[in-house]
Structure 1
C-alpha cells in the first residue's frame, strides 16, 4: 500500500502544471488555472510532508518541469502563441512558475512536517502517560 501511495504521488506530480496553466491562459485568457495549480501543489506538498515522501516530491517536481518544458517547446512552433506571452516568453514563465511552486512547496512541506511531528509527539506522550498509570 505504501508503494502505491508513493507512486500515486509521483504520478500526480508528473502532471505538467506549469504548461497547463500557460495553455489555459493562452486559450481562454484565464488566470484561474494558476490558482488551481497553486492549490493542488499546496495540497500535494502538505501530504508529502505528513507522510515524509521526500524523494517523491523531488522526483515529481523534476518530471513535471521536464514535461512542461517539452510540451511548451512543441507549442512554441506556433508564432501567435510565442508572441502572446510578454514581457516574459513562455519558457521564462515556466521556469518562474517552477521556482515559485518550489518555494511554496518548501513552506507547506515544512509546516506539514512540523504538524506531523507535533501530532506524533502528542500521541506518544499520551501513550506513555497511560503506561505509567497502569
Structure 2
C-alpha cells in the first residue's frame, strides 16, 4: 500500500505544473494557475514530509521540470508566444518558477517532517508509559 501511495505521489508530481501555468498565462493572461500550482505543491510536499517520501519528492520534481521544459520548447516555435514572455523568455521563467517552487517545497517538507517526528516521539512516549502501568 505504501508503495502505491509513493507511486501516486510521483505520478501527481509528474504533471508539468510550471508549463501549464505558463500556458494558461499566455492563453488567458490569468495568474490563477500559479496560485493553484503553489497550493498543490505545498500540499504534496507536506504529505511527502509526513510519510518521509524524500526520493519521490526529488524524482517527481525532476520529471515535472523535464516534461515542462520539453513542452515549453515545443511551444516556443510560436513566435507570438516567444514575444509574450519578455523581458525574460519562457525558458528562464520556467527555471525561476521551478527554483521558487523547490524552495517552497523544501520549507514545507521540513515543517511536515518535524511535525511527523514529534508525533512519532509523543506516540512512543505514550506507549512506554502505558507499558509501565501494566
TM-score range, shorter chain: over 0.9
- Residues in 1 aligned to 2:78 and 2:44: alpha-carbon distance in whole angstroms: 33
CA deviations over 1:83-103 (Å, ceiling 9, x no partner):
001121100000000000000
Q: Structure 2-normalised TM-score? A: 0.99
1:17 aligns with 17
RMSD across aligned C-alpha pairs, in angstroms?
Answer: 0.5
1:1-134 paired onto structure 2 within 5 Å: 1-134=1-134
- Residues in 1 aligned to 2:43 and 2:87: alpha-carbon distance in whole angstroms: 30
Q: Count residues in correspondence.
A: 134
CA deviations over 1:17-74 (Å, ceiling 9, x no partner):
0000000000000000000000000000000000000100000000000000000000
- Residues in 2 aligned to 1:9 and 1:133: alpha-carbon distance in whole angstroms: 41
